Amino acid sequence: MLRDRLLIVESEFRLDPLRAVEGLDWTEVFGTPGPVEVEIGIGKGRFLLAAAELRPDIRMLGVEWANHYLRIAESRAVRRSLENVRFARVDARELVQQGIPDDSVDCYYVFYPDPWPKKRHNKRRFFQPGTVDHLARTLVPGGCVHAATDHSDYWSAIEPLMDGREEFIRLPEFGGDRFPLPVDEPLTNFEVKYRVEGRNRYRGSWKLRP
């Protein structure tokens, strides 16, 4: 019974991964017009679902590679009857580089992306120059990237990478005016856990120049 439900959940909310990386048409994906926001690496979806529930007029895509997390997020979306969320089980870098149309995303959220701490694995990180080129290409003018990590070495790569890009202006504070949730509350499942463990938190927000 539960298995049947999960299969239905997958087909109802989840994008075909091959079509997603070939190129998305947001109206086709959501069936409605409106602004689009994308969260990269949603885990169990705490942030995505809360933000979508609060703002039914914003269309939100959650990208996650781990199927077990994605299924949890999908079943929670069904339970909350959220019609403005969709999910994609794809490599987020591939999706951003190949699947997302120019000038079409209002906001990216990238919270606690895998840090790939070994030097030889750094190239697997989400934040690298090639991906940032595509964040800039796909954001609408004035669109934002919000990022957080607990990993100081990764942050010391993200911060200069984003600060150094002419296309982006850093917001004075993480979140800025249009952020959907209170920034001082734990936003994601990892943030809840990290707060209990007392880990460092590094966060920043950047806006694409209008």
Residue numbers at the binding site for ligand SAM (CB under 6 A)? 41-43, 63-66, 69, 91-93, 111-114, 188-191
Kindly tell me which of 49 and 82 has the beta carbon lying closer to ligand SAM. Answer: 49
The CA distance from 169 to 4, in Å, is: 47
**Residue nearest ligand SAM, CB atom distance:** 41
Query: Which one of 4, 25, 106, 114 is the catalytic residue?
Result: 114
Kindly tell me which of 84 and 188 has the beta carbon lying closer to ligand SAM. Answer: 188
83 is in an annotated binding site: no
Least Å distance, CB 112 to ligand SAM, is 4
Q: What residues are paired with 170 via a beta bridge? A: 206
Told to judge if 184 belongs to the known catalytic residues of this protein, a careful annotator would answer: no
Of 109, 126, 111, the closest CA to residue 191 belongs to 111
Least Å distance, CB 74 to ligand SAM, is 14
Least Å distance, CB 93 to ligand SAM, is 6
Least Å distance, CB 207 to ligand SAM, is 21
Kindly tell me which of 27 and 65 has the beta carbon lying closer to ligand SAM. Answer: 65
Q: Output the CA–CA distances (angstroms, integers) from residue 91 to 68, 98, 119, in the order listed.
A: 15, 11, 20
CA 94 to chain CA centroid, Å, is 13
Of 147, 116, 86, the closest CA to residue 95 belongs to 86
191 is in an annotated binding site: yes
CB 208 within 8 A of CB 142: yes
Please, what sign has the CA dihedral across residues 161, 164, 167, 168? positive
> Coil, strand, or helix at residue 162?
helix
Least Å distance, CB 91 to ligand SAM, is 4
185 is in an annotated binding site: no
Q: Which tokens belong to 138?
A: 């796909």
The CA distance from 77 to 188, in Å, is: 15
> Coil, strand, or helix at residue 128?
coil
Kindly tell me which of 30 and 116 has the beta carbon lying closer to ligand SAM. Answer: 116
Kindly tell me which of 111 and 168 has the beta carbon lying closer to ligand SAM. Answer: 111
CB 98 within 8 A of CB 28: no
Binding-site residue numbers are 39, 64, 91, 114, 118, 150, 188-191
Binding-site residue numbers for S-adenosyl-L-methionine are 39, 64, 91, 114
Active site residues: 114
Binding-site residue numbers for substrate are 118, 150, 188-191
